[in-house]
C-alpha cells in the first residue's frame, strides 16, 4: 500500500437513487494503490451498487468517481472501455457466459481486446491463469458443470485475464462453506501480494473483512458510517459498527 | 396509450443504435455464424415438417374446390403461387418468431438477470455489438433461406396430395407449378423475409437486452418476443405486399 501516490479509486460525494429509493447518499472514500478495501454492511445497503459505479456500469446522480485519476462520471463509451481494461470484476454469481466453455470464457477478453495476439500465446495465458486458480484441468467444462467454489475461481480467473491493476470483488465467499471460502480468500491474498493489485471487496462476512482487508468501510442504508481498520472500528461510537465488527472476533 | 408510444419510440431508438453499429468494426463473424446455426440449422426440422404438412393440407382443400369448377389442372400453379407469394414467407416468419424470437428474448433476458451482460461490459467489450447485432444479422440472413425450404416442402406436400388423388407425374406437376411463376412472384416475396428476420431479431433482442425485472423478466421477455414479433410481421407484411405489387406489378395474381 502506498499512500504517497494518488488514490486508485476515489468517491467524492457520490449519490445514487433508484426511483424514490436512495441507495447511496453523499458517499466519499478513497482506496490507495495496492490497498485491500473491504465494504461491509447488511444486505441492500448499496455495496454492490458501489462496485458497479466504480466500473461505470451505473452512473451516479451526483458526485465524482475517479479511477486512477480519470473521472468516469459522464465519460463516453470509448473512455469507459479504456478504464475498464484496467479493472477486473468478480461478480457475486461469477456471471460466466453459459454458452461458452470455461476456456472460452477466459479467452474471450484476450481475443476481443488483443486480437493480434497469436492463438498459441492466448492458449498459454488461459492455461496459466486456470492453473493459477486451481482449475487447470477444467478448461473444457461448461459453467453449468462447475461447483459454486469452482465458479468463483473461474470468475476470478476471467477477471484477471487482462492483468488488471484494480480488482473489484462482489461477495466472493457468499454461499460457500468455510473451507472453500477460506481457499478463495487465500487466493485473493496471494494475487494481491504477487501483483500488488488494488482490491475493493464487498462482503457481509466480517471474518473475511478482518482477514483480507487493510481497511474496512461500513455502509448502512446508503451512508458510509465508518472507515478504518477492524480494531479501530471495534471502538467506533456507532453501535451497528461495533456489532458488525464484534461478529468477527 | 403512452406506454405503447414509449415502447415504439424505444424500439425505434434501439433500431437506430443497431443501424449505427452494424457497419462499425469489429465485425462479429464468429458470433454471427453461431447465431446462424442456432436460428437456421436448428429451425430447419420445424420448417421442413410444417411446410410439408401445410402443403399437403392446402392441396387437399384446394383440390376439392378446383374440382367443382373443373380446374384441377391448375392445382400445381395455385399451390406454388400461394406458397411463393404469401404462405411460405409468412409462415416461415411466424415459425421463426415463435422458435427463435422466444429463444433470443429469453437468452438475453437471462444474461441480463445473471449479470452476464454486465460482465461483458466489465471486460471492456461492447455487449450491444457482441450480442444484439449478430442476432439481427443472423435472423435476416436465415429467414429467406428457411422460406425457400418452406416453399419447396409445401410443393412436395402438395404433390403427395395430388398424387394420392390422380396419376399426375412429378415432371408435369413441376412444369404446371412453375409455368405461371415469374421471378417477380418468387424473389421479392422471399427477400421480404429478410425484413421479417431483422424485425424478429430487433424486437426479441430489445425485449431481452433491456429487461430489468430479474428472473421474472425472462419468461416475460420470451412471451412478449413471440407476441410482438408475430404481430409486427403481419402488419409489416401488409405494407410490404402493397410495396411489392407497386414495384413489381407483374407479380400480382
For residues A203 and B100, what is the distance between their CA atoms, to the nearest angstrom?
A: 39
Q: Using the beta-carbon criterion (under 8 Å), do A112 and B123 form an inter-chain contact?
A: yes
β pairing state of A198-203 and A166-170: parallel
Global ipTM: 0.89
Within 8 A of A77 by CB-CB distance, chain B residues are 126
Q: Using the beta-carbon criterion (under 8 Å), do A57 and B124 form an inter-chain contact?
A: no
For residues B200 and B38, what is the distance between their CA atoms, to the nearest angstrom?
A: 14
pTM given for the model: 0.87
Within 8 A of B118 by CB-CB distance, chain A residues are 52, 57, 91, 95
Mean pLDDT (whole number) for A119-125? 90
Question: How far is the alpha carbon of B243 from chain A, nearest alpha carbon, in Å?
Answer: 39
Could you tell me which chain B residue has the CA closest to the CA of A55?
Answer: B122
Name the residue among A82, A109, A115 with its Cβ closest to that of B123: A109
Within 8 A of B114 by CB-CB distance, chain A residues are 93, 95, 98
Phi and psi dihedrals of B84, rounded to 5? -65, -40
Q: What is the mean pLDDT of chain A?
A: 89
Q: Using the beta-carbon criterion (under 8 Å), do A98 and B116 form an inter-chain contact?
A: yes
Mean pLDDT (whole number) for A87-109? 93
Helix (H, G, I), strand (E, B) or coil at B69: coil
Question: How far is the alpha carbon of A93 from chain B, nearest alpha carbon, in Å?
Answer: 7
Could you tell me which chain B residue has the CA closest to the CA of A112?
Answer: B125
How close are the terminal C-alpha atoms of chain A, in Å? 25
In this model, does residue A210 exceed pLDDT 60? yes
Position B3 scores a pLDDT of 84
Q: For domain A9-246, give the CATH number.
A: 3.40.50.300
Question: Which grid cell sits at A20?
Answer: 424514490
For residues B253 and B251, what is the distance between their CA atoms, to the nearest angstrom?
A: 6
Name the residue among A84, A93, A96 with its Cβ closest to that of B124: A84
Provide the strand spans (E) within chain B. none
Q: Name residue A90's beta-bridge partners.
A: A169
Q: With beta carbons less than 8 A apart as the criterion, state whether B225 and B203 touch.
A: yes
Classify B181 in phi/psi space as left (phi over 0), alpha (psi -120 to 50) or beta: beta
Q: What residues of chain A have any CB closer than 8 angstroms to a CB in chain B?
A: 52, 55, 57, 77, 80-82, 84-85, 87, 89, 91-93, 95-98, 108-109, 112-113, 115, 158, 161-162
Q: Quick check: B164 contacting A, CB < 8 Å?
A: no
In this model, does residue A242 exceed pLDDT 60? yes
In this model, does residue A10 exceed pLDDT 90? yes
Name the residue among A57, A108, A161 with its Cβ closest to that of B121: A57
Question: Which grid cell sits at B40?
Answer: 437456421
How close are the terminal C-alpha atoms of chain B, in Å? 38
In angstroms, what is the C-alpha Rg of chain B?
20
Helix (H, G, I), strand (E, B) or coil at B113: helix
pLDDT band at A62 (very low <50, low <70, confident <90, very high): very high
For residues A58 and A61, what is the distance between their CA atoms, to the nearest angstrom?
A: 10
Q: Quick check: B126 contacting A, CB < 8 Å?
A: yes
Among A113-127, A164-178, A216-230, which is the least confidently predicted range? A113-127
Q: Quick check: B110 contacting A, CB < 8 Å?
A: yes
Interface test with B, best of A48, A57, A160 (most B CBs within 10 A): A57
Domain locations along chain A = 9-246
**How deeply is A223 buried, as exposed, middle or buried, from its count of CB atoms within 10 A (0-12, 13-18, 19+)?**
middle
Position A45 scores a pLDDT of 87
Position A39 scores a pLDDT of 94
Classify A44 in phi/psi space as left (phi over 0), alpha (psi -120 to 50) or beta: left
Position A96 scores a pLDDT of 94
Could you tell me which chain A residue has the CA closest to the CA of B122?
Answer: A84
Q: In chain A, what's the furthest Cα-to-Cα distance? A: 57
Helix (H, G, I), strand (E, B) or coil at B167: coil
Cell 497469436 found at: A118
Position A226 scores a pLDDT of 92
* Residue closest to A101 by CA, chosen among A174, A61, A158: A158
* Residue closest to B178 by CA, chosen among B86, B250, B80, B251: B80
Q: Using the beta-carbon criterion (under 8 Å), do B122 and A87 form an inter-chain contact?
A: yes
Share of chain A above pLDDT 90, in %: 58
Position A175 scores a pLDDT of 82
Within 8 A of A161 by CB-CB distance, chain B residues are 123
Q: Using the beta-carbon criterion (under 8 Å), do B118 and A85 form an inter-chain contact?
A: no
Would you give per-residue pLDDT tens digits along chain B (253 residues)?
A: 788 899 999 999 999 999 998 888 878 888 999 999 999 999 999 999 999 999 999 999 888 888 888 888 888 888 999 999 899 999 999 999 999 999 999 999 999 999 999 999 999 999 999 999 999 999 999 999 999 999 999 999 999 998 888 888 888 989 888 887 788 888 999 999 999 999 999 999 999 999 987 778 899 999 999 999 999 999 999 999 999 888 887 765 5
Question: How far is the alpha carbon of A143 from chain B, nearest alpha carbon, in Å?
Answer: 12
Share of chain A above pLDDT 70, in %: 96
Tell me how many degrees the CA angle A206-B120-B220 measures, rounded to the nearest 5.
90
Domain locations along chain B = 30-251
Q: With beta carbons less than 8 A apart as the criterion, state whether A122 and A107 touch.
A: yes
Within 8 A of A115 by CB-CB distance, chain B residues are 26
Q: Using the beta-carbon criterion (under 8 Å), do A55 and B122 form an inter-chain contact?
A: yes
Q: Using the beta-carbon criterion (under 8 Å), do A162 and B125 form an inter-chain contact?
A: no
In this model, does residue A231 exceed pLDDT 90? no
For residues B94 and A216, what is the distance between their CA atoms, to the nearest angstrom?
A: 56
Tell me how many degrees the CA angle A187-A190-A194 measures, rounded to the nearest 5.
140
Could you tell me which chain A residue has the CA closest to the CA of B117?
Answer: A95
β pairing state of A70-71 and A87-90: unpaired
Measured CA to CA in angstroms, residue A151 lies from A51, A104, A158 at distances of 20, 14, 10
Number of H helices, E strands in chain A: 9, 10
For residues A245 and A240, what is the distance between their CA atoms, to the nearest angstrom?
A: 9
Within 8 A of B123 by CB-CB distance, chain A residues are 84, 108-109, 112-113, 158, 161-162
What strand order describes the sheet that includes A9-18?
Answer: A21-31, A9-18, A62-67, A70-71
In this model, does residue A246 exceed pLDDT 90? no
For residues A107 and A125, what is the distance between their CA atoms, to the nearest angstrom?
A: 8
DSSP state of A140: T
In this model, does residue A3 exceed pLDDT 80? no
Residues A15-29: pLDDT tens digits? Answer: 999 988 899 999 999
Q: Using the beta-carbon criterion (under 8 Å), do B122 and A84 form an inter-chain contact?
A: yes
Q: With beta carbons less than 8 A apart as the criterion, state whether B84 and B184 touch.
A: no
* Residue closest to A6 by CA, chosen among A63, A68, A87: A68
Position B251 scores a pLDDT of 61
Q: Using the beta-carbon criterion (under 8 Å), do A57 and B118 form an inter-chain contact?
A: yes
Amino acid at each position: 500500500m502506498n499512500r504517497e501516490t494518488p488514490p486508485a479509486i476515489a468517491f467524492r460525494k457520490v449519490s445514487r437513487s433508484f426511483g424514490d429509493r436512495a441507495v447511496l447518499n453523499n458517499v466519499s472514500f478513497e482506496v490507495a494503490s495496492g490497498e485491500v478495501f473491504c465494504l461491509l454492511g447488511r444486505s441492500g445497503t448499496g455495496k454492490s451498487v458501489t462496485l458497479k459505479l466504480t466500473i461505470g456500469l451505473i452512473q451516479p446522480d451526483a458526485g465524482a468517481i475517479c479511477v486512477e485519476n480519470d473521472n468516469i462520471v459522464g465519460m463516453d463509451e470509448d473512455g469507459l472501455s479504456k478504464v475498464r481494461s484496467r479493472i477486473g470484476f468478480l461478480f457475486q454469481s461469477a456471471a460466466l457466459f453459459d454458452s461458452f466453455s470455461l476456456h472460452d470464457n477466459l479467452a474471450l477478453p484476450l481475443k476481443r481486446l488483443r486480437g493480434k495476439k497469436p492463438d498459441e500465446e492466448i492458449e498459454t495465458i488461459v492455461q496459466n491463469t486456470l492453473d493459477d486458480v486451481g482449475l487447470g484441468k477444467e478448461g473444457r467444462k461448461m459453467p453449468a458443470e462447475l461447483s459454486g467454489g469452482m465458479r468463483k475461481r473461474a470468475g476470478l480467473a476471467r477477471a484477471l485475464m487482462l492483468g488488471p491493476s484494480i480488482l473489484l470483488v462482489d461477495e466472493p465467499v457468499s454461499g460457500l462453506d468455510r473451507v472453500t471460502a477460506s481457499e478463495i480468500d487465500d487466493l485473493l491474498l496471494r494475487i494481491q501480494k504477487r501483483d500488488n493489485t488494488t482490491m475493493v471487496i464487498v462482503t457481509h462476512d466480517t471474518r473475511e473483512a478482518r482477514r483480507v482487508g487493510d481497511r474496512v468501510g461500513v455502509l448502512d442504508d446508503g451512508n458510509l458510517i465508518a472507515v478504518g481498520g477492524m480494531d479501530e472500528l471495534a471502538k467506533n461510537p456507532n453501535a451497528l459498527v461495533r456489532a458488525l465488527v464484534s461478529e468477527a472476533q | 396509450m403512452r406506454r405503447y408510444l414509449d415502447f415504439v419510440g424505444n424500439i425505434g431508438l434501439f433500431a437506430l443504435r443497431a443501424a449505427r453499429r452494424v457497419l462499425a468494426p469489429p465485425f462479429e463473424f464468429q458470433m454471427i455464424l453461431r447465431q446462424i446455426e442456432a436460428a437456421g440449422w436448428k429451425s430447419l426440422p420445424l420448417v421442413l415438417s410444417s411446410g410439408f404438412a401445410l402443403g399437403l393440407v392446402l392441396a387437399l382443400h384446394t383440390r376439392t374446390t378446383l374440382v367443382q369448377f373443373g380446374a384441377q389442372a391448375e392445382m400445381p400453379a395455385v399451390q406454388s403461387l400461394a406458397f411463393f407469394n404469401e404462405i411460405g414467407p409468412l409462415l416461415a416468419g411466424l415459425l421463426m418468431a415463435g422458435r427463435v424470437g422466444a429463444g433470443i428474448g429469453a437468452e438475453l433476458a437471462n444474461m441480463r438477470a445473471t449479470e452476464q451482460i454486465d460482465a461483458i461490459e466489465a471486460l471492456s467489450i461492447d455487449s450491444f455489438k457482441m450480442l444484439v447485432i449478430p442476432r439481427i444479422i443472423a435472423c435476416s440472413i436465415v429467414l429467406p433461406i428457411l422460406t425457400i425450404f418452406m416453399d419447396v416442402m409445401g410443393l412436395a406436400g402438395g404433390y403427395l396430395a395430388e398424387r394420392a388423388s390422380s396419376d399426375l407425374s412429378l415432371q408435369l406437376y413441376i412444369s404446371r407449378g412453375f409455368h405461371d411463376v415469374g421471378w417477380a412472384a418468387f424473389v421479392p416475396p422471399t427477400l421480404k423475409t429478410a425484413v421479417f428476420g431483422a424485425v424478429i431479431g430487433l424486437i426479441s433482442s430489445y425485449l431481452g437486452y433491456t429487461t430489468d425485472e430479474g428472473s421474472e423478466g425472462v419468461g416475460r421477455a420470451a412471451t412478449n418476443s413471440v407476441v410482438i414479433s408475430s404481430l409486427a410481421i403481419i402488419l409489416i407484411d401488409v405494407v410490404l405486399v402493397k410495396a411489392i405489387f407497386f414495384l413489381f406489378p407483374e407479380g400480382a395474381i
